[in-house]
Copies of this chain bind each other. A is one copy, B any other.
Amino acid sequence: MPESSHLPQLSDAAVPLVAGVSVLDEAGRRKDIFIPGERPLTVYVDKQELVTLMTLGGAPEALVLGYLKNQRFVHALDELISIHVDWEVGAAAVKTRDGIHALKERQEKRTVTTGCGQGTIFGDILSDLSSIQLDPDARLHQDTMVSIVAQMRAQQSIYKQAGSVHGCAVFRGTELLMFVEDVGRHNAVDAIAGKMWLEGMSGKDLVFYTTGRLTSEMVIKGAQMGIPFLLSRSGATQMGLDMARRVGITLFGRCSGEHFLMYSGEERFVYRS
């Protein structure tokens, strides 16, 4: 293959993200509202069925790519020839150069995690975490954090239109780089991971924002992306905090306006003087 074609070929499959429905309210009034789409997307790797993801459908190719990466089925982009999504049949066809090693065996040991969306971690991701080193010198200033929280609040979104979705975003300083929504928050973070991978983007100077809770799996995925700062408008679970301490992530929950709670990694945060 020529040097320029090391990136997998991706389809760009578009699909409506919301649907109009007619409902009745408490006074018997008929109302027309929007609700988010939720579609099955079955992932086939070299024609072998791997998994069915339930997704909003906004970034299906990046979702599949990030899923394969975060589940550690794929370790380098040049292992993949193409990802082709076809909504007519609800399928994502992944072509690899040399197959995925021990695919069946790796499907057998799995963890069904707390996460919305694809709460499934294969194999020994937990034990691999010890190899992750997050930048100890990264710093986040309070003004930057408040700006990020304000930008997320103002962001145009499916959530504002139809509710019932989770959003994830990555920022460099106060600059919003990526924003993805999905019916499951883990689909949203996997799609972000897929986009970052395609763009060759390191996480070491980024801030990750999620509307979802900071459970063990969310923290693990943040660590896998190499991002030292995790922000949520929701709270942390005990294992989410344990994982954050273990990998050295600076974890913030209950972010709203000026308010937040910092659970771990205080040495990276710079309060306004």
Contact = CB atoms under 8 A, between A and B. Distances in A.
Interface of A: 19, 21, 23-26, 28, 31, 33, 35-40, 49, 51-54, 104, 107-120, 142, 162-164, 183-184, 213-217, 234-241, 258-263, 266, 271
Contacts of A37: 237-239
Contacts of A39: 238-239
Dominant secondary structure at the A interface: mixed
Contact of A237 (B38, B118, B259): B38
Contacts of A35: 235-238, 241
Among A31, A104, A108, A271, chain B packs the most CB atoms within 10 A around the CB of: A108
A35 B242 CA distance: 12
Nearest to A234: B164
Contacts of A107: 107-108
A117 B109 contact: no
A235 B236 CA distance: 23
Contacts of A118: 112, 119
Contact of A26 (B36, B110, B241, B258): B258
B24 A266 contact: yes
